[in-house]
Chain A
Amino acid sequence: AQTVTQSQPEMSVQEAETVTLSCTYDTSESDYYLFWYKQPPSRQMILVIRQEAYKQQNATENRFSVNFQKAAKSFSLKISDSQLGDAAMYFCAYGLGNQFYFGTGTSLTVIP
């Protein structure tokens, strides 16, 4: 079965600094999708970034970028120039067909 592991329950970063959140997954498939979702306190979960496994180029969305290492089954999220509004739970997810598998989340604190 597919599993997604986020080994950092909590992380903190100084405002304007860079932080990297880790995610590993287990699969025997070759074509799948990976996602990072952000869930601010008491607010809606929203998509941060998405990566197709068949693409070698790492996805980027403004200050958010990923380091996708397919052979290592690793999918880390880098947040550059951290802002107070980045404070949230971040969930890594693996998607194949209609099935999604989520990690347990990393709680990110941004220190002013």
Chain B
Amino acid sequence: EADIYQTPRYLVIGTGKKITLECSQTMGHDKMYWYQQDPGMELHLIHYSYGVNSTEKGDLSSESTVSRIRTEHFPLTLESARPSHTSQYLCASSGDSSTDTQYFGPGTRLTVL
């Protein structure tokens, strides 16, 4: 398995709380991604980064924000969680080739009450 980690694995939180989902990789990959995954649906890209201090929004509109201060770390933050944010969040990273394989973390299952 790839060396990419996500914490927490499961999170149940109340509406209005601020949360940060952590993602770290030890492969030295420049590119990192956040996807949202709901049952029976395809993965939707919500944020990506090509390197330190580089972040972009993905295809799916999201109220979350990301930062990339270090190569290995790509946290995702929700300033005020809502029940509509309930989902699974997957982090991935890939190498330097133009279309390199993405390696996924184990995911964070978020439930907002």
- With a cutoff of 8 Å between Cβ atoms, the chain B residues found around residue A32 in the complex are 99
Chain A residue nearest in CB terms to B90: A45
- With a cutoff of 8 Å between Cβ atoms, the chain A residues found around residue B47 in the complex are none
Q: Which of B1-18 contact A (CB under 8 A)?
A: 1-2
Q: Are B40 and A33 in contact (CB under 8 A)?
A: no
Q: Are B42 and A4 in contact (CB under 8 A)?
A: yes
- With a cutoff of 8 Å between Cβ atoms, the chain B residues found around residue A37 in the complex are 104
Interface size class of B (residues with CB under 8 A): 20 to 34
Cβ proximity bits B83-105 to A, threshold 8 Å, 1 near / 0 not: 00000001000000011011111
Interface size class of A (residues with CB under 8 A): 20 to 34
Instruction: Knowing A44-B1, A47-B101, A96-B99, say if A91 contacts B106 (CB, 8 Å).
Output: no
Cβ proximity bits A97-112 to B, threshold 8 Å, 1 near / 0 not: 1111111110000000
Q: Are B101 and A50 in contact (CB under 8 A)?
A: yes
- 14 inter-chain pairs at a CB distance below 8 angstroms, sorted by A residue, are A9-B40, A32-B99, A33-B99, A44-B106, A46-B1, A46-B2, A47-B102, A50-B101, A91-B42, A95-B99, A100-B43, A103-B42, A104-B41, A105-B42
> Residues of A at under 8 Å CB distance from B?
4, 9, 32-33, 35, 37, 43-47, 50, 91, 95-105
A-B pairs with lowest CB-CB distance, top 4: A45-B104, A102-B43, A102-B42, A95-B99
